[in-house]
Chain A
Amino acid sequence: MQVAPPTTHTPETQTQLFRYVLQLADTSLILAHRLSEWCGHGPILEQDLALANIALDFLGEARSYYQYAAELEGQGRTEDDLAYLRSAVEYRNPLLVEQPNGDFAATIVRQFIYDTFHYHLLQQLQAGPDTQLAAIAEKSVKEAAYHLKWSSEWIIRLGDGTEESRRRVEQAIASLWRYAGELTTPNATEKELQAAGLVPDYAAMLPQMEAHVARVFEEATLPVPQGVFMQKGGKDGRHTEHLGYLLTELQYMQRTYPGLTW
């Protein structure tokens, strides 16, 4: 039972779409991996579970994107080939998600920045013209809403909490906010797909995203950072040093024992 037939694209668009879907896949996978590093180290049991649950949601989303990317590419590569056999310069995730976990406040700030973008992006993608991308977004947007609620509540709790929690969350904002801008700054692939109507116009998403950030930060008694110089490059394969180390661990088994299966 197929609800809507798969969308057909011109070969050029299909190549661009492959790159974009791969970028989404890499982003979800890298963030899933970072979150999974908390497993067994969470500050309390419930939050350890929350982090592992969120990691699992992102991993599931990443798999859907990788499967679709493999199909779009049509070269016989599988989801596993794409995840395990590409090097850091071939990864297309934005810099934000590869940043190390740091303390709990840093993980929360990284998550809040990404969740805010993710939730609003999926809202748009689920109504987009590509049926497969829309189906994945429709599935994941419900999970993204839970994530955003969780990270927003933690920003409030940490910002309006103790002197210590406030100091830590302020420090995390100061070191991570510079990676927020890349999320809504389209690269060449995104620009072409935006022109084709397949990727939402990020500029049009910004007012809602900013309103959400303002509301949460106000509740948290934190000032919204202004005039921050934004770093970018991850979406074009120019990464911070952290990604290589992460991939070394993530890809260890396939690199050491090529073709290994369960």
Chain B
Amino acid sequence: MVATQAPTEELIWQLLEEVSDPEVPVLSILDLGIVRAVRLEDEMVHVTITPTYSGCPAMNTIATDIRLRLLAEGITQLTIHNQLSPAWTTDWMTPAGRAKLEEYGIAPPVDGTATGHLLNLFGQDTAVRCPLCKSEHTHLVSQFGSTACKASYQCDDCQEPFDYFKCH
């Protein structure tokens, strides 16, 4: 397939909506809020993305997926930039993304608590809602979960263990 006309920024954004997070496939990279900018310069498309975690192993896969999706539309002139600052926070996740996450069985980050850089050593943890039975009667099993961005929780009502997309 070859593009019949020059790509527009709008088209690029549409295509990026179809690129999913490799570790949480129900989320697009736009839901996750990791696409910082799309810019067209002469023939070149510039996409700026930001890592969720420093060691996020999905970043290379995401860059490849973006490249493949754009290539399928005949867009070959592409530069992907990595930007660290300002650092990504879970507050950048879209409301649609949060809803999809909960439906998928992962508790979304609790709004406005993305203050992981402030050390709250012995403080009370925020109530996390069970994505299955919606009870807020849950407890933290471990601050670290199946991937760098998640913590492990268990529901005290339905007993289901679940992942929490931790605030950051």
Q: Which A residues fall within an 8 A CB radius of B?
A: 1-4, 46-47, 49-50, 52-54, 56-61, 63-64, 119, 123, 131, 134-136, 138-143, 145-146, 148-150, 152, 212, 215-216, 219
Contacts and interface: CB of A to CB of B under 8 A. Distances in A.
Nearest 7 CB-CB pairings of A with B: A60-B55, A60-B54, A135-B85, A46-B142, A50-B144, A56-B55, A53-B144
A47 B83 CA distance: 31
B143 interface: yes
Interface stretch (B1-9, B61-69, B97-105, B115-123): B115-123
9 contacts: A1-B39, A2-B83, A49-B146, A119-B119, A135-B87, A139-B51, A146-B116, A146-B144, A212-B121
B144 A49 contact: yes
Contacts of A61: 54-55
Contacts of A119: 119
A46 B119 contact: no
A136 B84 contact: yes
B56 A150 contact: no
B53 A143 contact: yes
Given A3-B85, A56-B148, 8 more contacts: A46-B142, A50-B143, A56-B57, A60-B54, A61-B54, A146-B143, A149-B143, A150-B144
B144 to A, nearest CB: 4
Interface of B: 36-37, 39, 48, 51, 53-57, 81, 83-89, 116-122, 141-146, 148, 152, 168
Contacts of B39: 1
Contact of B84 (A58, A123, A139): A139
B55 A149 contact: no
A165 B168 CA distance: 32
A134 B142 contact: no
B84 A64 contact: yes
B83 A145 contact: no
Given A142-B117, A146-B116, A152-B121, A60 B53 contact: yes
Contact of A60 (B56, B83, B89): B56
Contacts of A60: 51, 53-56
Given A49-B144, A139-B84, A64 B54 contact: yes
A145 B118 contact: yes
A148 B120 CA distance: 10
A194 B81 CA distance: 32
Contact of B152 (A46, A54, A57): A46
A39 to B, nearest CB: 13
Contact of B54 (A131, A140, A212): A140
A88 to B, nearest CB: 24
Nearest to B149: A53
Contacts of A141: 117
Contacts of A212: 121
Among A52, A60, A216, residue most surrounded by chain B Cβ atoms (within 10 Å) = A60
